[in-house]
C-alpha cells in the first residue's frame, strides 16, 4: 500500500468539506479519530443554533410559537419528513418522527402483530440488540403469550458468526402457515452483517406475514427503498448515523397502504388526531391519514431541532454521494486491515463482518484472537475512539460525512504497531 493512497483519495473526495460541519472530539488537546458513528454520531455545528432558534421562539411567543413566527412549530415535522424519506426510500407521508426506537417497536407491534389461531409466530434474528429481545418478551407476555413458544430465532450455523440468507428463507418456508410477523434487523449491531431486506420482505409476504424492520444500524448507513420493497413498517433511532444527539427522537416508516385501513389496531394520542379538527377536542379518535396518525404526544421541538441540523447536512451532501463514499471508505478499511493481518507471522484478526457483502455498511467488527482488550485499550489511549464488545470484538465504523481515508491509514499503522509490540 502506497503511503500516498489516502492523500489522493481524500483530495478527490467531493464530500471532504462536510467534515468541517461537525465537532470532532478533542481530548487533552488532541483531536481524536472518531470511528463510532454506529453508536453515537458526532454533533453538527449547527445543532446549538437550531436549539437556540427554538428557545428564542419560546421566549418570544410562549405557546404561540406553535402557530406563529417564521417557522411555527406545528409545521416543524414537515421539515423532517422529506429528507428522512429520501434516506430510507419512502414517501414523506410514510414517515413519522416520534418517540424513541423501543417505544415505536411496541407501537408497531400493536398494529402489525395480530395473532390469530395458529398464525402467531414471530421470526427474528438471533442475537438481535437486547432492546428488541426485551420488547418481544414483555409485549408477548402482556398478550398472555409465551415468548419461548412464539419467537423463532434464526441463528448462525455452528462455528459461524453470521446468518446465511438461505437459512432465513428456509425458516420462513418451514413455518409459513404459522407466521404472523417477521421483525428483523436491517444490519446486525454486533457483526455488521447487512441483510437483504427486499428478499426478506417478499418471502414474508409470500408466507402471509406482516414484515417490519429495526433499522437502528441501517438508517443513514446503507441504501434503503422501503416503499418500493413493499415493507409494512420500520423503526429506527436517529442518534447513530443520523447524528441527532444522545436520546434523539426516533422515527417510523408505515407503508401508505395501511394509512386508511380502519381495521388496524393502534394506541392513539391527541397529536395523531386529524389536524383539521384536532382542537375541537371531540371524543372518538380520528387519525391523520398518514404515518403521522400513529403519533401519540406533543413532540419535543428541541429534539426536532438537533435532527434538523443533521438532516440539512444530509440533504446538502446528497444520499447517493454519501453511499458512494461509504463504499470507498469501507473498501479502503478492509484493504488496510487485511494488509495488517497479512504482515503478521500469525494473523490475530478474524473479520466477523462479511467482506464481500453486496452493500456493506460502515461498520467492521474485528474478532481479536489474542490480546484483544489490550489492543483496544491501546487504540483508545492513542486517540482512536472505537468500541469493545465481549468476548473479544473491536467495532469501528468510519462514516462518509466526517471521516477520512487518512484516518483509516493512520488507524492501520497504529493497529499494526500495537499488535507487533509485546
DSSP characters over 193-231? -B--HHHHHHHHHHTT-EEEEE-TTTTTTS---TTTTT-
The model's pLDDT over 86-130, given as tens digits with 9 standing for 90+, comes to 999 999 999 999 999 999 999 999 999 999 999 999 999 998 888
Euclidean distance between CA atoms 248 and 79, whole angstroms: 16
Looking at residue 2, its pLDDT comes to: 46
What digits encode the pLDDT tens for the residues 367-397?
999 999 999 999 999 999 999 999 999 999 9
Q: Where are the domains of the chain?
A: 5-31+318-420, 51-316
- Percent of the chain scoring above 70 in pLDDT: 99
**What would the pLDDT profile of 261-314 be if each residue is shown by its tens digit?**
999 999 999 999 998 998 888 999 999 999 999 999 999 999 999 999 999 999
Alpha carbons within 13 angstroms on the beta-carbon side of residue 156 total: 15
Beta 393-396 vs 387-389: how paired, if at all?
Answer: antiparallel
Q: What is the CATH number of domain 51-316?
A: 3.40.640.10
Helix or strand holding residue 174 (H, E):
helix 165-174
CA distances from 69 to 42, 169, 241, 356, 412 (A): 30, 53, 31, 51, 51
- Whether the pLDDT of residue 422 is over 80: the answer is no
Mean pLDDT of the chain: 95
Which helix (H) or strand (E) is 252 found in, with range?
A: strand 251-254
Among the residue ranges 1-15, 38-52, 66-80, 168-182, the one predicted with the least confidence is 1-15
Q: What is the mean pLDDT of residues 42-49?
A: 98
Q: How confident is the model at residue 1 (pLDDT cuts 50, 70, 90)?
A: very low
pLDDT of residue 131: 84
CATH class of domain segment(s) 5-31+318-420:
alpha beta
Q: What mean pLDDT comes out for the span 56-69?
A: 95
Contact 300, 312 (CB under 8 A): no
**CATH topology match: 5-31+318-420 vs 51-316:** no
Q: What's the pLDDT tens digit per position in 336-371? A: 999 999 988 888 999 999 988 889 999 999 999 999
Name which of 409, 387, 342 is nearest 192 in CA terms.
Answer: 387
For residue 36, CA distances in Å to 191, 312, 337, 350 come to: 14, 21, 17, 20
Amino acid at each position: 500500500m502506497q503511503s500516498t493512497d489516502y492523500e489522493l483519495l481524500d483530495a478527490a473526495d467531493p464530500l471532504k468539506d462536510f467534515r468541517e460541519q461537525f465537532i470532532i472530539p478533542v481530548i487533552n488537546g488532541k483531536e481524536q479519530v472518531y470511528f463510532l458513528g454506529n453508536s453515537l454520531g458526532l454533533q453538527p455545528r449547527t445543532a446549538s443554533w437550531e436549539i437556540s432558534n427554538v428557545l428564542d421562539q419560546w421566549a418570544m411567543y410562549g405557546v404561540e410559537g406553535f402557530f406563529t413566527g417564521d417557522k411555527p412549530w406545528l409545521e416543524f415535522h414537515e421539515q423532517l419528513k422529506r429528507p428522512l424519506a429520501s434516506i430510507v426510500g419512502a414517501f414523506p407521508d410514510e414517515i413519522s418522527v416520534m418517540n424513541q426506537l423501543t417505544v415505536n417497536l411496541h407501537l408497531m407491534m400493536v398494529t402489525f402483530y395480530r395473532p390469530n389461531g395458529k398464525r402467531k409466530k414471530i421470526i427474528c434474528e438471533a442475537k438481535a440488540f437486547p432492546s428488541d429481545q426485551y420488547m418481544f418478551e414483555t409485549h408477548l407476555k402482556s398478550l398472555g403469550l409465551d415468548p419461548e413458544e412464539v419467537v423463532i430465532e434464526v441463528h448462525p450455523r455452528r462455528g459461524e458468526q453470521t446468518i446465511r440468507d438461505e437459512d432465513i428463507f428456509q425458516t420462513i418456508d418451514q413455518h409459513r402457515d404459522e407466521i404472523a410477523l417477521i421483525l428483523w434487523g436491517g444490519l446486525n449491531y454486533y457483526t455488521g452483517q447487512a441483510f437483504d431486506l427486499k428478499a426478506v420482505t417478499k418471502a414474508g409476504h409470500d408466507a402471509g406475514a406482516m414484515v417490519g424492520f429495526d433499522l437502528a444500524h441501517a438508517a443513514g448507513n446503507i441504501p434503503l427503498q422501503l416503499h418500493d420493497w413493499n415493507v409494512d413498517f420500520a423503526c429506527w433511532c436517529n442518534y447513530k448515523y443520523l447524528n441527532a444527539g444522545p436520546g434523539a427522537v426516533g422515527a417510523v416508516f408505515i407503508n401508505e397502504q395501511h394509512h386508511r385501513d380502519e381495521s388496524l389496531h393502534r394506541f392513539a394520542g391527541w397529536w395523531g388526531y386529524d389536524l383539521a379538527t384536532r382542537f375541537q377536542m371531540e371524543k372518538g379518535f380520528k387519525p391523520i391519514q398518514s404515518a403521522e396518525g400513529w403519533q401519540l404526544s406533543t413532540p419535543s421541538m428541541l429534539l426536532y431541532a438537533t435532527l434538523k441540523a443533521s438532516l440539512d447536512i444530509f440533504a446538502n451532501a446528497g444520499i447517493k454521494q454519501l453511499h458512494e463514499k461509504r463504499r470507498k471508505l469501507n473498501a479502503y478499511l478492509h484493504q488496510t486491515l487485511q494488509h495488517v493481518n497479512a504482515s503478521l507471522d500469525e494473523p490475530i484478526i478474524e473479520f466477523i463482518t462479511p467482506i464481500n457483502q453486496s452493500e456493506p455498511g460502515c461498520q467492521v467488527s474485528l474478532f481479536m484472537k489474542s490480546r484483544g482488550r489490550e489492543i483496544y485499550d491501546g487504540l483508545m489511549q492513542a486517540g482512536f475512539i472505537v468500541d469493545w464488545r465481549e468476548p473479544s470484538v473491536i467495532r469501528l465504523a468510519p462514516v462518509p460525512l466526517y471521516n477520512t481515508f487518512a484516518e483509516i491509514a493512520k488507524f492501520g499503522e497504529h493497529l499494526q504497531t500495537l499488535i507487533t509490540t509485546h
